[in-house]
A and B are shown apart, each in its own frame.
Chain A
Amino acid sequence: MKTTKISRRGVLKGGAAFAAGSTLGAPMIWAQNIKDVTLRQFGTGVSNLNEVGQKVKEDLGFTLEMTALDTDSVTQRAATQPNSFDIADIEYFICKKVWPAGNLQAMDTSKIKNYDKIVGIFRDGKLTPESTIAQGTAPHTVGFTSGPDGTDFVQEESGWMTLIPTIYNADTLGIRPDLIGRPIKNWSELLNPEFKGKASILDISSIGIMDMAMVIESMGEHTYGDKGNMTKDEIDMTLAIFTEAKKAGQFRAFWKSFDESVNLMASGEVVIQSMWSPAITAVKSKGIECVYQPLEEGYRSWGGGIGLSKALTGLERDAAYEYINWYLDGWVGGFLMRQGYYSAVPETSKNYMSENEWGYWFEGKEATDVITSPFGDPLAQVGEMRDGGSFEQRMGSVACWNSVMDQNQYMVRKWNEFIAA
């Protein structure tokens, strides 16, 4: 008689076969309704906020999973892992890089309820009919494509958007007025030897190079044809000046993540540096004086938007459109504007903000009551005004947009050399 023995190996083999069978052969169960839908969104920390995810669940019923990454990782993922996300929350200059790869799908503007109310910056490029278009990758230049399957960019409102604009702002230098003790009016102050060992710039090449260009123009060293699209010579010259400053000990550190910039400023290691608006808010909420200093040469601006993965279809895509319409409906706008950003459809956000908040954040008026962040920290007292003033004043003095250059690869290599110098 043949005896069957249960060997360890046999059990292992059986187990492996079972595991393989159950994953490979699992029946696809399609969601019966939108409540079961889960959309995976990723983007930079700015708008990937858990509060938004919770509110989506409340208002729309489906689940939004969010992953926050740094700018470089976002680009990387959008370009190389199209199946790892449903919604990409990316910046317009990243869009210029990744759109031609075909990982995102064009969005039909006729399905966007508030499309007509989206500010001009994202449609024809003009804030008001008289405004001039700033240098760099202006959002409207990469905002539209030729059709549902387009991988190109078109310069008119074609009805097919690459990204639905969600959030944008004008960036400038952050300073510690208590440690500087005099007015700061120009970008050139970043390289002022007075701040030797107390300055910082961000180590994200595509943004850092623009801040450098603002400084160099302000110093009167050079006037760029387009700060957002430099020639090789301009790149060499720009980085040479900054390398010299680095070797002379001008910089305390370079920062790559939001938290680093907050810590550098709050600890007093740095008194003047490139900074982002919520980082200023974070420093202020620790009770430390910090100003988002408006400068004569204007702002370096950026804009972000939501893009849909090419792989998104059917019910998930419907849910994504619903999410976009909800995004532009005002709640998120109000939430973001109370942190100092702007919403693509400001007028809907007004419904979700108090008159005082709207006056302070959007109209540049004096606060009539204490202004608090969405998380409850006081940011401004009665009578204080927002650094830089109103929406029109701030977004009206944009000198250049975050961009990606034709000589990007060359610039990146040169940037690496700057860091290693």
Chain B
Amino acid sequence: MGRMRAGTVAWLQAAPMAFVLLVFLVAPIVMITIVSFWQATEFSIIPAFDFDNYEFLFGSSVTYRVFLNTFKYALITWAFTFVIGFTVAYFLAFHVRTLTWQITLFLLCTIPFWTSNIIRMISWIPFLGRNGIANSALISWGVIDEPLEWLLFSDFAVILAFVHLYTLFMVVPIFNTMMRIDKSLIEAARDAGANGAQILWNVIVPLCKPGIMIGSIFVITLVMGDFITVRFMSGSQSANVGRLISNDIALLQYPSAAATAVVLLLTVLIVIAIMLRFVDIRKEL
């Protein structure tokens, strides 16, 4: 074999990854975008180029309500996962002294993830039900007289499941950035007279920003793209954009599903773009 120019070699080295991305990421998105302009009847899909699907989507008040609902779930879930995730990571990074214990406790956090998402979610149903463990316990303690109806098949249940499912995605990146913080910085802050809250706010939080941002991107994209948690935990009574898409697919309305998917994709990209304006992940990693 002859000697290749360095440029060609670099291109060739990048080629497999580029190929994989092209086939499995770019091509499907292009396909979805194309299909979103097609038309469908109950049993056939007709290639076309018209804006019917988008017109219907933007013309229906349901779309706006559903998108609003999706944002609501994302925002509330983000707030809870952030507070819980940050606290857990802070405890692991700064309160647990030995590396062995840090690793042990960290692995403990991941144990629930050895079972599937859906099983972890569904196991809440018998717990929260009208005659479930939570209600019977509260009644036997005399806290309530009547079972609480809003525990299951409600927004409360949906958000509870989301927080349970996705907090670890917040813990891991924040823990990771916290471990890189040079401990002497904290000592220096203390020597300079800062109290605990000031150290947290002026030293640790700014240095954790990339981790917080990565965690937030994980949580927000996962929640905005979810449909199964919303379906099961709300007893099919609430909808987010994912459910809109899955309903359309179930009813063979692929073009309309594709149009909704394109709008969702753009929305999520815009959200991420806004988030990335606050922190330059690349620079801080």
Q: Report A's interface with B, CB cutoff 8 A.
A: 72-73, 75-76, 79-80, 97-98, 100-101, 197, 200, 203, 205, 246, 251-256, 263, 267-269, 404, 408-409, 412-413, 416-417, 419-421
Contact = CB atoms under 8 A, between A and B. Distances in A.
Interface string B141-176: 000000001001100000000000000000000000
B247 interface: yes
Nearest to A408: B42
A97 B130 contact: no
A103 to B, nearest CB: 9
A70 B234 CA distance: 20
B250 A419 contact: no
Nearest to B253: A412
A100 B43 contact: yes
19 contacts: A76-B252, A79-B42, A79-B43, A97-B43, A200-B235, A252-B153, A254-B236, A255-B235, A255-B236, A256-B231, A256-B236, A267-B132, A269-B153, A409-B41, A416-B62, A417-B62, A419-B243, A420-B239, A420-B244
Nearest to A103: B43
Contacts of B41: 409
Given A97-B43, A267-B130, A246 B237 contact: yes
Contacts of B56: 413
Contacts of B60: 413, 417
Contacts of A413: 56, 60
Contact of B250 (A76, A101, A404): A76
B239 A419 contact: yes
Given A203-B236, A413-B56, A404 B42 contact: yes
Nearest to A263: B125
A149 B153 CA distance: 49
Contact of A253 (B44, B69, B153, B243): B153
B251 interface: yes
Given A72-B251, A420-B69, A421-B65, 11 more contacts: A80-B252, A252-B235, A253-B234, A253-B235, A254-B237, A255-B236, A267-B130, A412-B253, A413-B60, A419-B243, A420-B65
B62 to A, nearest CB: 5
A246 B239 CA distance: 13
B250 A73 contact: yes
Contacts of B152: 269
A419 B247 contact: yes
A182 B235 CA distance: 27
Nearest to A268: B131
Interface in B24-57: 41-44, 56
B62 A420 contact: yes
* Interface SS majority for chain B: loop
A203 B251 CA distance: 12
How many chain B residues sit at the interface, stated as a range, is: 35 or more
A373 B235 CA distance: 30
A324 B60 CA distance: 47
A200 B236 CA distance: 10
A253 B252 contact: no
A97 B234 CA distance: 31
Contacts of A412: 251, 253
A237 B95 CA distance: 62
Contacts of B238: 420
Contacts of A75: 252
Most A Cβ at <10 Å: residue of B153, B234, B249: B153
B151 to A, nearest CB: 11
Interface string B62-100: 100110010000000000000000000000000000000
Given A72-B250, A73-B250, A416-B62, A251 B126 contact: no
A165 to B, nearest CB: 22
Given A79-B252, A412-B251, A416-B247, A101 B239 contact: no
B45 to A, nearest CB: 8
A404 B131 CA distance: 38
Contacts of A417: 60, 62
A392 B72 CA distance: 53
Closest 3 pairs (CB-CB, A-B): A253-B235, A254-B236, A420-B239
A101 B44 contact: yes
Contacts of A76: 249-250, 252
A419 B236 CA distance: 7
B217 to A, nearest CB: 26
Contacts of B234: 253
A322 B250 CA distance: 33
A101 B131 contact: no
A256 B251 CA distance: 13
A97 B44 CA distance: 10
A80 B40 CA distance: 12
A79 B249 CA distance: 13
B55 to A, nearest CB: 13
B43 A421 contact: no
A80 to B, nearest CB: 7
Contacts of B250: 72-73, 76
Contacts of B244: 416, 420
B236 A205 contact: no
Nearest to A420: B239
Contacts of A267: 126, 129-132
Nearest to B235: A253
A90 to B, nearest CB: 12
Contacts of A73: 250
Contacts of A263: 125
B247 to A, nearest CB: 5
Nearest to B63: A420
Nearest to A80: B252
A197 B247 contact: no
A255 B236 CA distance: 7
A267 B231 CA distance: 19
A190 B144 CA distance: 28
B157 to A, nearest CB: 11
A256 B261 CA distance: 23
